[in-house]
Amino acid sequence: MAVVKATSSDIDLLARLLRAEGEGEGQMGMLLVGNVGINRLRANCSDFVGLRTIPQMIYQPHAFEAVIHGYFYQRARESERRLARRVINGERYWPAKYSLWYFRPVGDCPPTWYNQPFVSRYKLHCFYEPTAETCQNVYTTF
């Protein structure tokens, strides 16, 4: 059962984001990108208060490098649609299980990002999750 509402158009949009942001890190990298996106929809805290739909999350200003810099143009493929459905249905993977942020630094991962603690690195991306005190909703079960 879906943890966020999603139309087929939303699934395509999320699949495009997974491809644009995580394709270079394989299937798991794309699932981790999806986890962060779904977490942002469910969190309703920090920079993500009021986000209710996949398009709102994806097109939020300054949210994703792929959207900002124009490499979010490729169409959704069935393989990414399957991954998008998996995260929409609640599959979560460490280190993005509760993360609201990730980025790809040139060097080492800084200890905090947007004042949130570093969780771990997956290949080239660093993941950061809020504390329970600042964002309890991200820690709720589906």
Residue type, 117: P
116-122 and 125-128: which strand pairing? antiparallel
Q: What integer pLDDT is reported at residue 111 of this predicted model? A: 97
Query: HSE-up of 76 (CA within 13 Å, CB side)?
Result: 19
Instruction: Estimate the share of the chain in helix, then strand, then coil, as percent rounded to the nearest 5.
Output: 45, 10, 45
Assign 115 to helix, strand or coil.
coil
Say if residue 25's pLDDT is above 80: yes
Answer whether residue 72 shows pLDDT above 90: no
Q: Where are the domains of the chain?
A: 8-139
Phi-psi region of 116 (alpha: psi -120 to 50; beta: other; left: phi over 0): beta
Superfamily of domain 8-139: Cell wall hydrolase SleB, domain 1 (1.10.10.2520)
Q: What's the mean per-residue pLDDT of the chain?
A: 94
Residue 139 carries which DSSP code? G
Q: Which residue has the tokens 């794309």?
A: 30
Backbone angles phi, psi at 7, to 5 degrees: -85, 175
Give the residue-averaged pLDDT of 113-122. Answer: 94
Give the pLDDT of residue 94: 97
pTM for this predicted structure = 0.95
Confidence of residue 142 (pLDDT cuts 50, 70, 90): low
Decide: 22 and 30 in contact? Cβ < 8 Å.
yes
Read off the pLDDT of residues 77-99 as tens digits, 9 standing for 90 and up. 999 999 999 999 999 999 999 99
Is 141 a residue whose pLDDT tops 90? Answer: no
